[in-house]
């Protein structure tokens, strides 16, 4: 596709439910990033993949958060036992190589009730 | 720890007036610097970036930014603002030798008066 796509665009979950958020990066992009953007804040780094390898997961806030990119293309961010503080926009970004500027998807807005 | 500060949370300018959005970063080595724009319900769009070389960089939509090492700043400018520039603007910093993750400022909301 022409850009990074994410699905679903909106997700409402009851507290305690598990959710899965999908990211389709730009074709051929090696690097893939996940960010969390709380209301009124700038995005905060969650995790980074180079192809299928997860090289940095230092930003994941708890062990309830898990990300994968098994074939080096599509990535899924999974949140288990969602809590209200998980409500945010989750942004995915990709780039050809690191440091050249990341292209962002439209995000998934997660609301946990 | 690395950080990015955007001192102005909200700025209002008249259409046709000039604009400057401030950004300061905290990091020892030469960083990679970016400005992104986010319209409501949209993802982040890259306006411009600085890696090395000429400290004045040109971007899309008539924006430019100047890297000043002595001030640890990377301010965004536009000589004449259009109503369609109303959005949220984020400054971000990355650096070589790591994963390439970006550290973002809190953002500046730009309102344009007719």
| Residue A91 contacts B where some CB pair is shorter than 8 Å | yes
Percent of chain B with pLDDT over 70: 96
Looking at residue B43, what is its pLDDT? Answer: 85
pLDDT in tens, A10-55: 999 999 999 999 999 999 999 999 999 999 899 999 999 999 999 9
Buried b (16+ CB within 10 A) or exposed e, A9-34: eebebeeeeebebebbbbeebebbbb
Q: Give the minimum alpha-carbon distance from A35 to chain B in angstroms, rounded to a whole number.
A: 9
Q: Looking at beta carbons, which residues of chain A come within 8 Å of B96? A: 99
Contacts A–B by Cβ distance under 8 A: 65
Contact A39, A64 (CB under 8 A): no
């Amino acid at each position: 596709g022409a850009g990074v796509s994410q699905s679903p665009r909106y997700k409402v979950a009851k507290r305690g439910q598990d959710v899965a958020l999908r990211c389709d990066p730009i074709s051929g992009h090696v690097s893939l990033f996940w960010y969390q953007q709380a209301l009124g804040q700038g995005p905060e780094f969650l995790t980074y993949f180079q192809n299928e390898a997860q090289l940095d997961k230092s930003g994941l806030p708890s062990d309830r958060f898990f990300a994968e990119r098994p074939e080096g293309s599509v990535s899924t961010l999974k949140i288990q036992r969602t809590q209200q503080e998980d409500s945010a926009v989750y942004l995915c970004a990709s780039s050809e190589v690191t440091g050249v500027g990341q292209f962002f998807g439209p995000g998934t807005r997660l609301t946990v009730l | 720890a690395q950080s990015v500060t955007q001192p102005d949370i909200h700025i209002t300018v008249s259409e046709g007036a000039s604009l400057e959005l401030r950004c300061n970063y905290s990091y020892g080595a030469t960083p990679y610097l970016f400005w992104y724009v986010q319209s409501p319900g949209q993802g982040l769009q890259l306006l411009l970036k600085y890696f090395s070389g000429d400290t004045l960089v040109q971007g899309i939509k008539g924006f430019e930014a100047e890297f000043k090492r002595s001030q640890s700043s990377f301010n965004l400018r536009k000589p004449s603002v259009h109503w369609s520039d109303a959005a949220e603007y984020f400054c971000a910093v990355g650096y070589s030798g790591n994963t390439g993750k970006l550290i973002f400022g809190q953002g500046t909301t730009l309102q344009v008066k007719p």
